[in-house]
Structure 1
Amino acid sequence: MNRSQQLLSSLGLAGFTSALIAQSVCAANIAQVTAVRVNPTPEGIEVVLETEGGRALQVFTTSFGDTVQADVISAQLRLAGGNQFRRDNPAAGIAAVTVTPLDTNSIRIKVIGQGGLPVARVEQGGGGAILSLKPATGTAQTPAPPGVTQPPVQPGVQPPTVQPGVPVDSLPTLPPTAQPGVPVEPGVQPPVAQPGVPVEPGVQPPTAQPPTAQPGRPTQPTAQPGVTPQPGADRIEIVVTATRIEENVTNVPRSITVIDTEEIEEQVGPSRNIGEALANQVPGFAPPTQTTTTYGQTLRGRDVSVLIDGVPQTTNIQSFGREFRTIDPSAIERIEVVRGSTAIYGSQATGGVINIITRRPTEDSLTSTVELGASTSLTNTEDGQGFNGKYGISGREGNFDFTGSVSLASSGAFYDAQGDRIPYFELGGDSSRILNILGKIGVDLDDQQRLQLSFNRYLETQNPDVIPDFSVDDEEGTQKARAIKTGNLNIIGGQTPGNRNTLFNLSYTNDNLFGSSLQSQIYYRRNSNIGVPSDYRSSDFFGPFVGVANSRTRTEQLGGRLAITTPLSSDEKVRLVWGADYVNEDSEQNFDLYDPNEFDATGGRVYRKIAERPFVPAYNYNSLGLFGQLEWNIDEIVILSGGIRHERIGLRVDDYTTFNERNIQGGERNFDATVFNLGAVYKLDENFSVFSNFSQGFSVPDFARILRQPPDDFVGIESSLNITQPQKVNNYEIGIRGGWSTVQMSLAAFYNTSDLGISFQPVGNTGRLELIRAPERIYGLEATVDWQPEKTWSIGGTATYLEGEYEDEDGKYIGIDSSRIPPVKLTAYLENQTTPEWSNRLQLLYSGNRDRAFEDGSDGGPISSYVTLDYISTIQVGNGLLQLKVENLLNNEYFPVLSQYLAGFGADSSNYAARGLTFSVNYRLDW
């Protein structure tokens, strides 16, 4: 079968399967809701939906801020007094209840709390559904908002009867996508709970795809740069990453992208690589490299700090860069990305912060999730199959809650568009198996205090059956990397290649500590990365010293974070966030050496360990940061913020001998950095705002790269001042955000500088990296647009332009290499809600040409453009969700930017092609 036939077959299979299942689930009749009642209960109120003929209703709940939201699917409002219902102040602690049509065949209930989020529980009534609500603790005596008279409630006295569908006051009825004082953020899908699962303040329910998702449904202001609206949902998002407190994204003077569970599941490919999902969704983030390392995936041309629930995954030693290989995507609730230099979480975030937030417990009931999936290459099916499975459980009993999940994924061999095996397996994630265990146990000590212990264990092992063909490095012209089939590698005496991560995180929160709120955590993390053995004998730099070898890295961290939010005004419009962070980190990297004779005799299949050699000496890195951040919300129109952070950093290493037998004097070095930030948001109206900010970030060099291959004039830690100095980055940014009923857009421009840049550049095909410390400047534009021309259609995309330069010894600005500064990146999508239960999406990614760095001598060759196209079909089947995905739909043969960059320096054995046509299927069931 040729490639065109394979393409048609895959499209036919996906389309036919989608249509067949969709037809089977569209036969249900639509329920008619004929009455809405709000009744008092001993704990609060209940919202009763009565249906014609006593039909049961399906209800999905979620929460944000002080609002509980419930969507009723396959239902229409048919009220006697009009198809909108509103009740203000039905009970103490409840500001308003509205029931409105969401679209043609679904209904939305919104309940706004006063002074906190109400606890909600869905009950199936005999003739419809009941949403029971309990006001947040401590809000029983909360006064009504100014200008609104709250009727007194006498014990045992029934309030006045309300006619179904007739509003009780003369206030104008709000549309279903807007509520007083609650800004709605397009582009971010709130987590959705299963029917019957209550919503507790501060705890988001587990995510589940609502069957009523409709592309093109109008969303409410304001759009965030790079956040593509998930079809069929109003958007509001509370983020913690940008300011370290819960904050609506519309109030933050920065560019922020939030990716929810459904978007992660759509974008993650067979390699289970989070970096690929981010590249498809986040402006400013480099195009996918299709490797497991973060090398080559910068954010706005600089380093990014990766966190899991606030715990740093980015360490000082970056030899492997496996921050995204520390957790499986199935354990993630959402990802918050702050774009641009920041020091809010400490060093290494000169390009931004990526905070991965794990699944959270549900409330008052036991819920389970089962997920099964499979994938295969369609260009070559030989051992190219992979699978993934997950079981999750969550629940609450009294003041105790828990959540846990176990996932197992296995990836097969990866093949390019020509059906050739991709040999870059050490960084590609193929032929690997991933086991991830996530567990959380929490207890509410009282209404204001909570203690939680979480555990994450990630174990990835790799067992490839090919080795790279290094002979392509000696051939004329540019060659595609080739693989040599060997059978599964037999490693004797050494460790199995892969990534291992163990994390314990103990957190304590107190919502009222002498009038302030406190968030604190103590964490321990141990991480190791073991490379696939390789033959370095042809390397001029490594060969004479290591021969056939692999390297392994170990890092151990112990740290803590403290953040206290103190109101400085009675209305809490002026707040101060202050606190401290500390981390102590021990790292080292070694070579395992293998018998070259046995390697040659077995055709590269058997690796027998014969010795060890230090590559990076054991060293200690520690830092202590003190910070303060002030925010002033002026009349909900102008929001000002600013802050300062002071960091003290220590480095300690003993005397050591490098792997190429140079003696280096150890010692201790201490650094410090003080950085500032200042920002403002101005809301021109409810749909449009502008923001600007100045923010400083800082980072220290990867000391491991310096220690393992020090320059010729490097004699010791204490005497080499310039090479180890921290880098401070000044970032300037302005932006606009607009969100209307059918259009959302954003535009941001940024410019950042550093007097002492940090850049590592390859020295030919030697394996050696040269450190460049020179002034740098990076600038660019980011834009997004999303348009819903009608209820069932949605179209949009993002654009990123980036350029970077460093100053050479002659004062001339030279283009920074393409491992840091990627070409122009464009993304686009077209989505259609074909039926209420079936949606289809086409998405495109374009990576442009770049020759600026090649012309200036920073790149070994120019970077060429390429285009990829993916198809995703999502179908609601019963209580579960089926997803079909075809990657590289056009089966385009292309080379990622990182591959082209490495090939430019003569390393054709690293000139790997990207994955060809690939099909995957995934089914998730929640109950």
Structure 2
Amino acid sequence: MPKIFHSNNKRRILPIVNFLLVGGILPGSALAQNAPEDESVGLEQMVVTATRTETPISQLTRSVTVVTNQEIQQQAGLARNLGDVLAKTVPGLGPSSEALSSFSQTLRGRDFLVLIDGIPQSTPLRSSSRDLNTIDVDAIERIEVIRGGTAAYGFGAAGGLINIITKKPAKEALAGYSQASVRVSTEHLDDSAAWQTTQRVSGTKDNIDYLASGTFIQRNGYFDADGDRIPPDPLGNQGGLADTNEYNILGKFGFNFDQDRQRLQFFVNHFNIKQDTDFTFAFGDPNQGIKTPAVPGSFNAADPGTTNTLASMHYINRDLLGSHVKLNAYYGDLTARFSKFPGFAQTEIQSQKYGTRLTIDTPLAVRDYDFSLIWGIDFLRDETVQAGIDGPTVVPNMQENALAGFLELELPLSDLGLLRGGFRYEHISVDIDDIVNRGGTLVRGDTLNYGKPLFNASAVFYLTDEIEAFGSFSQSFSVADIGRAIRDANSSITSAGQLESNAQKVNSYEIGLRGGRGPLQASAAGFYSTSNNGTTFNQDLSIVKQPERIWGAEGTLAYRFNSQWNTGGTVTWVAGEVDLNDDDDYEEDLPNTRVPPVKLTGFLEYSPWRWWDNRMQVLYVGDRSPDSTQFGGGEVDDYTIVDLISRFKVGPGYLGVAVKNLLNNDYFPLVSQAGRLPYAFSTGPGRTVRISYALNW
């Protein structure tokens, strides 16, 4: 990649780098000083894949958050599902559902694409909303979040991209890591314990590196602030975490050759979580504020949960005819089994994927001007069905073949900034089988074809030594849950071909400032997006596709008083409207399951000695009363969650104590309030305490 900074610009770069390390991603930097797994926290780690090539953070032209390994470990002490971890660390991302499902958790008001080492986890043909819970947190090195639609990866990244990057091998020949923990509810000690252990070995010898990691978790019941058991599936039948057994196995093997010019790496990860419970739900009364109770019994014909197997081969050639070439070939097999709802068949979504991503970074020169052309081809085949377990299959087998070519120019502007602009063309073909859907309608199979050109342009300008401005325009495209549309189709839909026009194209815009002076770092960004076929649900939970527009703002602020004290926070505000009649008159607000209320996060860190770190953090979710007749339009009352994390150096390792919901606040998560369903009006967990011990060996 051509260098765009001269040596005399070092003063300009460092404040921006410091901002992104402290203000832009707001890590627990005091806690990171003595991180148990990796004592080194360096600038070289802070590269992202927002442009599909490893890019120094000083050259980013988009809003990007990098959630570091230290932050992930901090937040995992409070909750191990990624929905919770990211809600408290990423501006623009909605509050967590606090369940296995990520339904209602949007990024800037839209669905996002989830990748694990470049392998898609989302199931766009029939959404399972399990995207953020298909790998254990202890298998993750860092998470890179691109906020706002992106054409760089395509295939459904309407609200942005969440790229989960797995653990990397240690640099020494043999290194080990061990951790064990127990978590209990302070309001109900009986039947609330959760046990977890992680073991990992890795290393590098000459030109070979390897890693093997395993995590096992056994969870019992979840209890609220009153000590009452929360239903094991708090969202009705979308998936819960209580009474589950979970394990995750990660393996990597790589070797460099041709004097390190080329590299080949193999990767495999298997994740399995199953819920075996003796409890289910009874009906509450949201109108009276009566929560959904947990009662003995079970409707399930088979244990619900998620099984996810991933494998990939990654090849890098750092100099192929002058270009840097990356090829990733992958396979994914995901099964998301739902709990049974009375009167309906228990079902599971089965999705098998394989594909390739080819990215070529070619440096070019015209006279004395150096720039880059990034180009390549993506291919994806996805076969998805929602199969009945104890009843009929009402969502047909669907086979998607998607092919896309792209190119992007990266144009340095000397020490003034950087421009990027590109083009991507996607062709998607979906073969759909015949099906008799849930309403008894015969929907004939057909082949749906989509072809869309997508454009993107972005820039960063260095206004002063300490402030930079950035802005971007990007388009994304998604076929948006064809399976559910077929399942809920009425008698007017006789052929799957009638749904061909229901694809969604999103135009996204953003503009922002970031920078800082000394210990003070800050950022602010505004965004706006429009779509022709935005996806919501009516009160019967049938899918609805209508024009919509979303806008909002994000901000971050951080201040380090000295080596012992550090503080910071984020703010996210989103609004949106939907055009019910497709007449350019936006009659209603988007519901709370799409556009969340104001979200504020803040933290205060204190490290009195190098062997003792403390972090107090707060999450505030505001109130919102949308003018909406769609599902999820229920009024949301504000709630606040305060957490405490403390860590001590004890012997060769670290003893951790983490308290979630320190004040034992009694609250309903956003999705429960917004939906107001009598079988899914569940409270959030009360105070829980986790004690852990971790060491490197």
**1:686-745 deviations in Å (ceiling 9; x for gaps):** 3211111111122122011012111332110223443x3x21111111111112221110
Shift of 1:269: 5.3
Q: In the alignment, what sits opposite 2:685? A: 915
Whether the 8 Å CA contact 1:818–1:853 is kept in 2: the answer is no
Q: Is the CA contact (8 Å cut-off) linking 1:221 and 1:740 kept in structure 2?
A: no
Contact 1:279 1:285 in 2 (8 A): yes
* Aligned residue type for 2:261: Q
2:20 and 2:480 map into 1 onto residues whose CA distance is 41
Q: How does 1:542-557 map to 2 (within 5 A)?
A: 546=344, 549-557=345-353
5 Å-filtered alignment, 1:645-660, equals 645-660=424-439
Structure 1 pair 509–869 and aligned structure 2 pair: CA distance change class (3 A): same
Take 1:887 and 1:636, find their aligned partners in 2: how far apart are those partners?
A: 46
CA contact 1:434–1:459 (8 Å) conserved in 2: yes
Report the equivalent of 1:464: 277
How far 1:758 sits from its partner (Å)?
A: 2.2
Q: Secondary structure at the match of 2:227?
A: coil
CA distance in 1, matches of 2:650, 2:254: 33
Asked if structure 1 preserves the Cα contact closer than 8 Å seen for 2:559 and 2:568, the reply is yes
Q: Which residue of 2 aligns with 1:567?
A: 363
* CA distance in 2 between partners of 1:730 and 1:705 (Å): 24
Query: Measured at CA, do residues 846 and 448 of structure 1 come closer, stay the same or move farther in structure 2, by a change above 3 Å?
Result: same
CA contact (8 A) 2:15 2:515 kept: no
Contact 1:694 1:730 in 2 (8 A): yes
Q: Check the 8 A contact 1:735/1:749 in 2, yes or no.
A: yes
Query: Aligned match of 1:441 in 236, 245, 253?
Result: 253
Identity %: 35
2: CA distance, partners of 1:889 / 1:221: 29
User: Given residue 663 of structure 2, which amino acid in structure 1 is its aligned partner?
Assistant: L
Residue 757, structure 1, aligned to residue 534, structure 2: yes
Aligned pairs for 1:149-228 within 5 A: 183=14, 219=18, 225-228=24-27
User: Counterpart in 2 of 1:818?
Assistant: 592
Partner of 2:642: 869
What amino acid sits opposite 1:825 in the alignment?
K
In the aligned structure 2, how far is the partner of 1:827 from the partner of 1:507?
37
What corresponds to 1:613 in structure 2? 392
Which letter does structure 1 place at the counterpart of 2:683?
A
Task: Give per-residue Cα distances to partners, 1:501-535, cap 9 Å, x unaligned.
Answer: 11110010000000001000111111101122332
Once the two structures are superposed, residues 238-296 of structure 1 have per-residue CA deviations (whole angstroms, 9 ceiling, x without a partner) of 33321011112221111110011111111125652011000001111001210111211
Task: Confirm or deny that 1:580 pairs with 2:388.
Answer: no
Q: Deviations over 1:443-477 (max 9, x none)?
A: 1122200111000001111111211013x35x973
RMSD: 2.4
- Other-structure match for 2:241: 429
Q: Where in structure 1 are there 5+ consecutive unaligned residues?
A: 1-64, 66-113, 116-144, 148-177, 187-218, 537-545, 594-611, 764-768
Instruction: Report the residue type matching 1:687 in the other structure.
Output: E
The match for 2:606 is: 832
Cα deviation 1:372-393 (Å, max 9, x = unaligned): 1110011111210001101111
Q: 1:778 touches 1:802 (CA, 8 Å); kept in 2? A: yes
Q: Aligned pair 1:375/2:183, yes or no?
A: yes
Residue among 453, 472, 495 paired with 1:716: 495
Q: 1:500 — aligned with what?
A: 307
Match of 2:156 among 341, 345, 348: 348
Q: Are 1:279 and 1:288, in contact at CA under 8 Å, matched by a contact in 2? A: yes
Report 1:143-542 matches (<5 A).
183=14, 219=18, 225-228=24-27, 230-231=29-30, 236=43, 238-268=46-76, 272-425=80-233, 426=237, 427-446=239-258, 447-470=260-283, 472=284, 477-486=288-297, 494-536=301-343
Q: What is aligned with 2:473?
A: 694
Q: Give the distance between the partners of 2:448 and 2:625, measured in 1 at CA.
A: 39
Residues 1:878 and 1:284: Cα distance change in structure 2 (over 3 Å): same
Report 1:611-650 matches (<5 A): 612-650=391-429
Alpha-carbon distance between aligned partners in 1 of 2:185 and 2:19, rounded to the nearest angstrom? 40
- The residue matched to 1:278 in structure 2 has which SS? helix
**Counterpart contact for 1:224–1:255, Cα < 8 Å:** no
Residue 504 (structure 2) pairs with residue 732 (structure 1): no
Deviation track 1:21-53 (CA, whole Å, cap 9, x = no partner) reads xxxxxxxxxxxxxxxxxxxxxxxxxxxxxxxxx
Equivalence for 2:519: 742
The letter for the 1-side match of 2:269 is N
Looking at both structures, which has the greater relative contact order when contacts are Cα pairs under 8 Å and sequence separation is at least 6?
A: 2
In structure 2, relative to structure 1, the CA distance for the partners of 1:759 and 1:322 (3 Å cut) is same
Equivalent-residue separation in structure 2 for 1:798 and 1:225 (angstroms): 9
Alignment match, 1:597: none
Shift in Å at residue 235 of structure 1? Answer: 6.6
How many Å separate the matches in 2 of 1:311 and 1:293?
A: 19
Stretch of structure 1 that moved more, 640-649 or 398-407: 398-407
Cα deviation, 1:399-456, whole Å, max 9, x if unaligned, reads: 2111110111122210000000001425221111111000001111222001110000
Provide the secondary structure at the position in 2 that maps to 1:481: coil
Question: In the alignment, what sits opposite 1:55?
Answer: none
Query: Counterpart of 2:363 in structure 1: which amino acid?
Result: P
Change (3 A) 1:759 1:820: same
CA contact (8 A) 1:783 1:798 kept: yes
SS in 2 for 1:264: helix
- 1:270–1:386 CA contact under 8 A, matched in 2: no
CA offset digits 1:545-565 (Å, max 9, x no partner): x3xx42111110011100000
Does the 8 Å contact 2:100/2:240 carry over to 1? yes
The equivalent residue for 1:773 is 545
Matched-pair contact (CA < 8 Å) for 1:316–1:621 = no
Report the equivalent of 1:142.
Answer: none
**C-alpha spacing 1:220/1:691, structure 2 compared with 1 (3 Å):** closer
Alpha-carbon spacing, 1:182–1:880, altered in 2? closer, same or farther (3 Å): farther
The DSSP-based 3-state class of the residue aligned with 2:623 is coil
Pair 712,360 (structure 1): closer, same or farther in 2 beyond 3 Å: same
Distance change >3 Å, CA 402–CA 184, structure 1 → 2: farther
Equivalent residue number for residue 50 of structure 1: none
Per the normalisation by structure 2, the TM-score is 0.93
CA distance in 1, matches of 2:557, 2:633: 35
The unaligned stretches of length 5 or more in structure 2 are 34-40
TM-score (norm 1): 0.70
Cα contact 1:223–1:738 (8 A) shared by 2: no
> Offset of 1:631 from its aligned partner?
0.7
User: What is the CA distance between 1:321 and its match in structure 2?
Assistant: 1.3
Residue range with higher mean Cα deviation, 661-670 or 886-895: 661-670
User: 2:179 is aligned with what amino acid?
Assistant: E
Q: What is the SS of the residue equivalent to 1:277?
A: helix
Which residue identity does 1:423 align to in structure 2? P
Map of 1:24 onto structure 2: none
Distance 2:88 2:444 in 1: 46
Residue in 2 that maps onto 1:10? none
Distance of aligned partners of 1:796 and 1:638 in 2 relative to their CA distance in 1, 3 Å threshold: same
